[in-house]
Structure 1
Amino acid sequence: MSLVFIFLILLFSSLGLTTAQHNQTLLKKCCSKSRVLNDNLECVQLVSDERFETDIFAIAGYGDVSYNNQPLCPGNVTLVRLVNNFENDSIYCVDKLISEEGKGREELVGLSCVDTPLKEQVYNVQIFTIQKCCPRYYHYNRLKQCVYLAGIDYSEKLVNSLFTENNFDKIQFINMRYGIKETKNRSDVVNDYESLRSKTNYLSSESVKVVYQSKVIDGNNFKGAKFNERIIPFDHACIDIVENNTEHYVVRLYEPYSKVCPSKKCVRKCCRPGYTFVNGKRCEKSNHVFAPRFNIDIHKGNLYDNHTAEDYAVSYGLPNCSNTLTVNFSRAQHYIIYSDGSIQEDDLVARDIEHACVEHVYMPQPSYNYNYLKPFVCSIYNTTGYALNDSAFKYQLITVLLIISTLFAFATLIVYTLLPSLHKNIHGKCLMCYFICVCLFCSVISAVRINPTFQRTNKSLCVIMGNMAHYSTLATVTWLNVICFDIWNKFRNIRAKHISESYLKKFILYSVYGWGLPALITLIMFMAQHYPDWFQEHNRPNFGVENCWFEAPSKNLSFWIFHIVPLTTFIAINIILFSFTAYHCTNTKNQIQRMKLKVLDTALHIECPLYQGPMLPRDYSPTMPIVDQRIKRICHKIQPHINTMIGFSDRISFNVLPPFLPMSDIYVIDVLVHPSFMGRTMFKMNLAQDNLYTAILVHIPEHFCSDGQLIGAQAMRIRHLKSKGFKVVTLEHKILSKLVMYPKELINYISEQMQK
């Protein structure tokens, strides 16, 4: 009896198993599990990009899939494009075709033989297409977006959880796609709708119905939550499992920025879900957290202090920059992500969601691991650290103007080089050095602005350019110091007695200051970069780290010590010297006005008998009036010849100012022939004897009118000296310069003038 019972049980079991196996439909996949068809109907390996990972799944208990079923046809193979519902007794196998001509476009196709169709009916099914948000072995997580767990096939998990307990008459197979279809409008954002499994109904391959919870806000006050029902089409949407929990789904949908972001926080993520920047500028698979914090000052990655997932919508992909995309790798950087997705770095202008994105950056280094969420913004400022306005037009305009300035600076330098008269004195040489610094500075900055990719393409060149820009900036200001000092020194000693000094020695001292001091500061700054004990890492110059300038200048101690402080000091010195020069100019102008009045007073006293003067007090200043250097040089050259003419009983003095006349350059006697007993300091003159004193006056071309007559001041000078008892001899500088090489003719010319 027991044996019969056991036999019956086994019989019914086998019948049930046979029935179950018979009810399950078999779908023949043309290629293996990891291969798809290409345009030539060949089975090829899937690309590494998870967006093209694809497969055909059978719902557990409703169907099964067999692999490697390409038809062995004696003739050609026909490609048949399928729809969701199809019945075809000539199609032998089904698979995915990823077309290279269609730039990765995917479609479901069937293969059959043309000449001798295989009469094997295998299809009476409906194939659903599911758009899964994350790749096959990933599930959705708000913090990390797509989280990878080895060994867990979340595609099968999603399929079974969606369809196992639902009654679909003909649904045995699922065409799985990954990712979310991008929209043409780059400003659209992905909005998340989370729903319970029991509230989610997969209506078709085109749509899904979800019931989601939303906040009820009255003004700024939270009033509670309400449930909303919505049917979401799958043209730009996807569905996935939330966390490792099949009880919650998320439906992600592209929606217009203007619809979502006024009431919900928004941000642009540089890479697609599950990807971040790892060791370079390419997006790589990563499990790093993406948890942007809004409307707070983010500094040194403090956004990871709290991993609470804020409710926000996200847009994917790099911003559409007309210029370059830049990132500040400074660990001292501050930035703010605003609710509308705009990003503000440090004190720069905020960039909107179309021109900025945020991404996690992981770069393991020997000394530290760079592991921060960083903003990437479209570059509209140069890479030397000088912030510009938020207009690309202004950036280009300033670049063009800077190039023009560079060309004019070089033109000025060339003119000064080609014309010796412009650089024969110290002031001209100092100006040439200044223009060299300006040319160097403008050239470096122009090169960086024209090609702001130095930091990425050639870091060594970027460091060199940064140091050159720093050195030329300081050298420009130090040579301005030299020019200001030289002008101030000339005005300060404008009435002092001439001191013979070496121009070469003075220029060497100027060069040591103008070139050497900036070089010393730059050298110390270079050593500060390579001696870690001097500064902490974020306070070093760090040229080439963030860009070709100081890293985070406003918060970098080296920037303040080696750049701001020297510049401020040099500029302050220039201002002080300018103030002193202005004071001396004003003072000299007043002295000149007083001297003119004294000359007028003296002239009236000498030439007008009825004038009761002089009215003004006498001058007792020990300073000497200005004497033209041409007159000084020619007087010393003719001195031996005058000695020969007058003998050694008399003496000769140069640049003598009679004490009874005003201390003006008008009354300076260039060469005075006087009795030897008077000596060189003649405060007591016996003018009672005529012709005892001979005043030799040398006239330069500026002393003559166009008709060859002396100008009024020089004619008055001769009259006044004669009235005081001097014998006046006038010599022309132009004639003396020609005859100085001919002693005999020179002596004859001087003798003739003295005899007149």
Structure 2
Amino acid sequence: MLIVVFYLLICYQTCDAIEWRKCCDDQQEAHTVNDTLVCQAQAVTRYQVHTDAVNFLYHGDDGQCVDTSSEGFFSYEVIGGKLVSKKQSDTTFYKCCPLKYVYDADRRSCIKADNFSEAFLGRNLVQIGLPQCKIISDTSVKNFTEAQDSVSGLEPGSFCLDRQHSGNFIIRKCERDMSICKEKRCFKKCCPDGQSFFGGGICKDTYVHGFTISDQHYSGYIEDPKDDYELIYGTKCPGVSLMPRNTIQYSITKTGNFRYYKNYTESFIEEDVLSFTNYCIEHATKGKLVGYFLFMCYKTPEISAKFTYTFWVKILSCVFLVFTVLIYVFLGETKSTFGKILISYCTTVFFLLATLIVSNIRFTYVGVECKLRAYITIFCHFSTFAWVNIMSLDIWWTFSTQKRVIGSDQRRKDLKKYLLYCLYGWGLPLVYLLLIILVERLEILPNTIHPYIGIHYCIIENRNYGRLLFSHVPQLIFQISNTILFIKTIIYCIRVKNEINKMNHSSNRNEKRKLSADKER
């Protein structure tokens, strides 16, 4: 009898060990390729297998193993190197931090700790963190038994357990609503639990950064920073922008609201902590930019119906611009300076509209492509104003100077004049664009006039006076210049017309005198 019991015990332990053998290495996950199970780099770190038996596929044995994927846990049966069956397995333990990490309640983050025992896990399929929760409450208990009793009856996935670096255990639970923000101050964390910005405004699993309000550049703007607080995780902003240091007046109140000074209204505005378009705090890593920063959250506007209408209008305009250029070329109008100017203007407008059409098709506000479209739009837009200015100048020049005999010498002068026009019409906008890029990159101007480009909109953004200074003021200068040239041209035409009328009147009077003298004879 003892031998049978001993055999059954050995068989149970062996079967349990086989069930929890990991197919691949710790940093890999299993994928099926043509009925074959292969190991690839782990894409999602939210699922981990707690076992010492790893690399089952490497040994080439037949049997069962378990592994992770982006969808959870799966158990596989492999015979002769071929996949026979695949079945999804349920999570058996919800841990707040990855394996070999413990929880830091002060920063709400994870700390690497190889010396802490993880025997309390008991089971082996471990899901990490609570990335789906908006608000998470933390409760510290002395031992694992007390922690288990506290979470009994809770829905799986709505809580997690872990050891703290102090030696106690932590219970983290998802709150059902935002009512806790009425009892405590809530701060907004940009990314979900366990994530932070990496390589830009993209949330990725890092686990170790968490959240802090002490000893940061924004700490002085927080009222009563030592008060207890909770976090709102994951604002789900389509885009965020870094709040420049010491450039605007703002504060985070005792209730968690964001209070800031708005230049346009010249008054302080206070936004509720639950407002979407609001601040958030996050750890960011991008090149030399490493640390905790305050960000502004912006809501991506919905595509208005007017974009649909103007899209086809722009296409139709491009078609007519092409026809205009072809007609001028066919009729030989390109031989004159004005014909060359008109074709240059039409070409610039065509590329401006083409860029706007691409922006309509690819309605995105982030990335290098958005910045590139913004730069092209700025260049073409400024160039159109420059060519209209050239057109006004050439018309005034034509009317205000005497006609010259067309010859080879005059053609060379006209060509030289057109090349100078090209230098002005395309060279000046290029210098202007390079100046804007330089000012934007170096951030040498105050925040009130700094040009923000391609962060949330593929143009100079209307968030301060930067758009007024770098877009509207140059346009106004061109408009004033064109108006002056137009008035001078009109005045010259009126003066010439009056002189012609005087000459005609004088000629008629002389003819009348001559006719009268002839009659007297």
Shared fold per TM-score greater than 0.5: yes
Report the counterpart of residue 417 of structure 1 in structure 2: 328
Structure 1 unpaired stretches of 5+: 1-25, 57-65, 71-75, 80-95, 110-127, 160-172, 210-230, 294-300, 320-324, 381-389, 593-620, 627-654, 662-681, 693-724, 726-756
Deviation, structure 1 residue 443: 1.6
Partner of 2:17: 30
Residues in 1 aligned to 2:468 and 2:67: alpha-carbon distance in whole angstroms: 58
Residue pair 1:409, 1:438 contacting (<8 A) in 2 also? no
Contact 1:477-1:567 within 8 A present in 2 as well:
yes
8 A contact 1:471–1:518 mirrored in 2: no
Max Rg structure: 1
Distance 1:317 1:438, change over 3 A: same
Between the aligned partners of 1:371 and 1:401, the Cα distance in structure 2 is: 46
Say whether 1:55 aligns with 2:42: no
Decide whether the 8 Å contact of 2:130 with 2:158 is kept in 1: yes
Match of 2:136 in 1: 191
- Could you state the TM-score of these two structures normalised by the residue count of structure 1? 0.45
Q: What does residue 477 of structure 1 align with? A: 385
Amino acid of the structure 2 residue aligned with 1:474: F
Name the residue aligned to 2:478: 570
Q: CA RMSD in A?
A: 6.0
In the TM superposition, what are the counterparts of 1:93-104 in structure 2 within 5 Å? 97-98=66-67, 103-104=71-72
1:400 aligns with 2:311: yes
Deviations 1:530-584 (A, max 9, x none): 9x8x998224999998589788786798x88875553332122234445667888
Q: 1:360 aligns with which of 274, 280, 283?
A: 283
Residue of structure 2 equivalent to 1:208: 151
Residues 129 and 177 of structure 1 are in contact (CA less than 8 Å); yes or no, is this contact kept in structure 2?
Answer: yes
Distance apart, 1:273 and its partner CA: 0.5
The verdict on how the C-alpha distance between 1:99 and 1:281 changes in structure 2, with shifts beyond 3 A counting, is closer
Letter in structure 2 aligned against 1:521? L
Q: Displacement of 1:410 after TM fit?
A: 2.4
What does residue range 210-229 of structure 1 map to in structure 2 within 5 Å?
Answer: none
Contact 1:130-1:175 within 8 A present in 2 as well: yes
Q: CA 1:489–1:418 in structure 2 vs 1: closer, same or farther (change >3 Å)?
A: closer
Residue in structure 1 matching 2:500, options 624, 627, 636: 624
Deviation string for 1:428-461 (max 9, x for gaps)?
Answer: 65444332221121122333443367974679xx
Distance 1:292 1:406 in 2: 54
SS at match of 2:285: strand
Provide the rounded CA distance (Å) in 1 between the counterparts of 2:282 and 2:470.
Answer: 33
In structure 2, relative to structure 1, the CA distance for the partners of 1:105 and 1:270 (3 Å cut) is same
Residue number among 78, 83, 95 corresponding to 1:132 in the alignment: 95
Consecutive unaligned residues of structure 2, counting only runs of 5 or more, are 1-11, 25-29, 57-61, 78-90, 265-270
Instruction: Give the number of the structure with larger relative contact order, counting CA–CA contacts within 8 Å between residues 6 or more apart.
Output: 2
The secondary structure found in structure 1 opposite 2:380 is: helix
Contact 2:284 2:292 in 1 (8 A): yes
> Aligned residue for 2:126?
177
**Residues 355, 376 of structure 2: 8 Å contact kept:** yes
Distance 1:524 1:584, change over 3 A: closer
Q: Which of 104, 109, 116 is matched with 1:141 structurally?
A: 104
The answer to whether the Cα contact below 8 Å between 2:390 and 2:425 also exists between their aligned partners in 1 is: no
Alignment pair present for 1:302 and 2:245: no
Residue number in structure 2 paired with 1:273? 194
Aligned length: 456
Q: Deviations over 1:565-621 (max 9, x none)?
A: 533321222344456678889x88xx99xxxxxxxxxxxxxxxxxxxxxxxxxxxx7
Q: Which structure 2 residues correspond to residues 658-669 of structure 1 after superposition, within 5 A?
A: 658=506, 661=509
Whole-angstrom CA distance in 2 between matches of 1:402 and 1:327: 33
1:291, distance to aligned residue in structure 2 (A): 4.0
Contact 1:36 1:98 (8 Å CA) reproduced:
yes
Q: 1:362 to 1:50 in 2, by over 3 A?
A: same
Amino acid at match of 1:55: H
Equivalent-residue separation in structure 1 for 2:394 and 2:123 (angstroms): 88
Q: CA deviation at 1:477?
A: 0.8
One-letter amino acid of the counterpart of residue 625, structure 1? N
In structure 1, C-alpha distance between the alignment counterparts of 2:227 and 2:169, rounded to whole Å: 16
Contact 1:268 1:358 in 2 (8 A): yes
Residue matched to 1:728: none
**Structure 2 equivalent of residue 312 of structure 1:** 230
Partner of residue 517, structure 1: 424
Asked whether the equivalents of residues 46 and 128 of structure 2 are also in contact (C-alpha less than 8 Å), the reply is: yes
The answer for the alignment partner of 1:283 in structure 2 is: 204
Change (3 A) 1:415 1:374: farther
TM-score (norm 2): 0.62
Distance, in Å, in 2 between the alignment partners of 1:544 and 1:240 is 44
Q: CA deviation digits over 1:79-124, x for unaligned, max 9?
A: 8xxxxxxxxxxxxxxxx84476x932368x9xxxxxxxxxxxxxxx
